[in-house]
Chain A
Amino acid sequence: MIKLEKGFYRHQDFSLQIDLEIADQNFCAILGPSGAGKSTLLNIIAGFESLSSGTLNINGHDFTAAPPAARPISMVFQDHNVFAHMTVQDNVAIGIDPSLKLSRAQLVAVQAALERVGLGHYGARLPSHLSGGERQRVALARVLVRQSKILLLDEPFAALDPGLRLEMLKLVQDITTERKLTTLLVTHQPDEAKRVAQSVIFVDGGVVQKPQQTNTFFSQTLPEVAKYLGQSN
């Protein structure tokens, strides 16, 4: 369980209030207008930004001040998830050991992860020879080998065309189920949320709202949500 209590974040003119709980093995979409703080929320959970006040608790342990590496989290960014000078295989293996000294069993795990994301034969390639979608698959393969229980996705498929996006979304959904992950997905596409998310967190006006059931969220009539969804009352 991810629990943010009385969380407050401030950076220059921007501030964000966060008070929420996310249940284990939940697939949660984060929606909200541009610049509202969706990515900031992920960065706070991942440890790339720090709360000005309040606490972050994961599975009963306090992680408010923990460095990113100490958190049971994997994050996939919109871009630049791979190191350009490393092969696909190394880019995955680096999730297990940054010095790339892998045991035979670990190498097997890397290959299995690559196969799981459909890149079984791509191990020796350099990222510059991959498409955008393939590069994100490399990032997902790394998530698989890291075996963290929480997966944060920051608009990872925004640059992909619709068919591919749905395919990738399905892959993420399957992985979440298979690995019993808690997944938070920042997206600009409400239909993505409808398709895969069990719950929705709405971020707007400097406040992160508590998660709601996806159905409940889309059927509500809050003016700011309606405005965001483009529904006129």
Chain B
Amino acid sequence: MASSYSRIVQALIACTILAGLLPLFWLVLHSAVSTFALDRSIFSVLLFTLEQAFLSTVFSLALGMFTARALARRDFLGRKAILQSFALPMAVPAIVAILGLTSLFGESGIFPHFFELYGLPGIVLAHVFFNLPMATRIFFYGLQTAQPENFRLAAQLNFNEPAIFKHVEWPLLKTLLPNVGALIFLLCSASFIIVLTLGGASSTTLEVAIYQSLRMDFDLPRALQLALLQILLSAVLVSAAAQMIKAGIVTPALRQNIRRFDNQMFASKLFDVCLSVVALAIVLPPLIAVVAQGLFHLHFTALTMQALSTSFAVALLSAVVALLLAWPLAKVNDAPSQIASLAAFIVPPAVLATGWFLLIFRFVDNAFTTVAFIILLNSLMALPFAVSALRIGFARITRDHLKLAKQLNFSPWQIFQNVELPILRRPLAQAFLMASVLSLGDLTAITLLGSHGIITLPSLLHIEMGHYRSGDAAGTALLLLIICGGLTFVAEKTYDQA
């Protein structure tokens, strides 16, 4: 049952991807195209794509891992607030994050010239702003699945920090690392606004090249070639990650609020504090800048309310669809599921949108299909986040639970109700939060297919910026942040009750 559900979802996702690619193939084959070869410049494009994505991934993972560890082993006032604030960057539109970063490191910032904001370091910093908090949260909840006995044993056997890391924390982190790493790498290689705004004209990534060939040159064969190159690259990465995941399987504990007995030495505390400060110094300033600049510009016009309700409805529906798709993929957790969960990052959304347009929107194009498209694309983009959150939960359901369910002759619905739901409530809340926050901040779908009068908070923000209304835009950005903060708060409350 579960397996056929997962096959259906995999097939559905495959269909949406093919629906994006096949019309392009068809068009390319039926157009008079003479050249079908990649030129040399593509190598430098590829190289830069990999370089910036690699650096961003390494920094996000390393910093995220140790920040998560610092938060997991030191319970202090404000720990929860930090974790909650780390859910917010995902909702921040790229341009808002960039403006936030300029408040710190820009020419007009507090520390100008301290850091090369316009260039590769700036691109990496902005990517770390988005991905470090996400990685930290996933790693933190991963570390919470440790067996309490492991920490007791470590305490009794006088494990030092490296030993605790090596024998208790690393085995847990290791199972999450390939997935989170692949996800961040794909996110960064698909990054567009950040790369162009901070990198300038000389920073051309594969995604930029695809955009250029689709937009400026309308060179579909080239766009298709580049897209295939990107698919190839992603496929290699994802299957490598899938291989690595096979290596370690953990059975996480059922208990929560694990008591730890970590080193309370000054040096070790100092290390954790410094690390947390670095992480906060990257994540908080853009958020604080949004608050500071938006505070006196919060406005609630009819348009704002319309954008607010649309955003809210779209985000919640996207999150529901994302969870329906993510559930079987996380449960089965095989290689096809992992690849399916990353679909929207393997195939560039701009290519998908063009293909979908040729197949569907050319014939039916109204506000309803646009909303459906936005929800579909948002849920596909939220899928990897939802799957990674749920996967941690499913690992908690032991064989014994399922045997028991079989013995009691539970129907799949009863298994869901009595076994899966109680254990997965917390990861579900987490997955729902990630998916809805991501959808709230997303602008890709509307940009790709046109708005049809549909206005979401991020699109309102861009409209306001486009009309010199930077103050209103700041207010809208803050409103977006407040909504996401509220959602995070509600989701965390749900965990606590779980």
Interface residue ranges, A against B (CB under 8 Å)? 46-48, 67-69, 71, 73-75, 77, 79-81, 83-86, 94-95, 98-99, 146
Contacts and interface: CB of A to CB of B under 8 A. Distances in A.
B436 to A, nearest CB: 34
Contacts of A99: 160, 162-163
Nearest to A152: B156
Nearest to B261: A68
Given A71-B156, A77-B152, 6 more contacts: A47-B261, A69-B156, A83-B167, A84-B171, A85-B248, A98-B167
Given A67-B261, A98-B163, A75 B171 contact: no
A71 B158 CA distance: 10
B149 to A, nearest CB: 4
A81 B155 contact: no
A79 B162 CA distance: 24
Interface of B: 147, 149-150, 152-160, 162-163, 167-168, 171, 248, 250, 259, 261
B120 to A, nearest CB: 37
Contacts of B153: 75, 77, 80-81
B158 A98 contact: yes
A200 B19 CA distance: 73
A91 B489 CA distance: 42
Contacts of B152: 46, 48, 68, 75, 77
Given A79-B149, A80-B149, A69 B171 contact: no
A75 B162 CA distance: 22
B262 to A, nearest CB: 10
Contacts of A84: 171, 250
* B interface secondary structure, majority: helix
Contacts of A69: 155-158
A58 B168 CA distance: 29
A227 B150 CA distance: 35
Nearest to B146: A80
Contacts of A83: 150, 167-168, 171
A205 B153 CA distance: 29
B156 A86 contact: no
Contacts of B163: 94, 98-99
A98 B157 contact: yes
19 contacts: A47-B261, A48-B155, A48-B259, A48-B261, A68-B152, A68-B156, A69-B158, A73-B156, A75-B152, A75-B153, A80-B149, A80-B150, A83-B171, A84-B171, A85-B167, A94-B157, A98-B154, A98-B157, A99-B160
B171 A85 contact: yes
Nearest to B148: A80
B167 A95 contact: no
A99 B166 CA distance: 9
Nearest to A85: B171
- Cβ-closest 10 pairs across A and B: A69-B158, A98-B163, A80-B149, A68-B155, A80-B147, A98-B159, A77-B149, A68-B156, A85-B171, A83-B167
Contacts of A46: 152, 156
A37 B72 CA distance: 27
B224 to A, nearest CB: 45
Contacts of A75: 152-153, 156
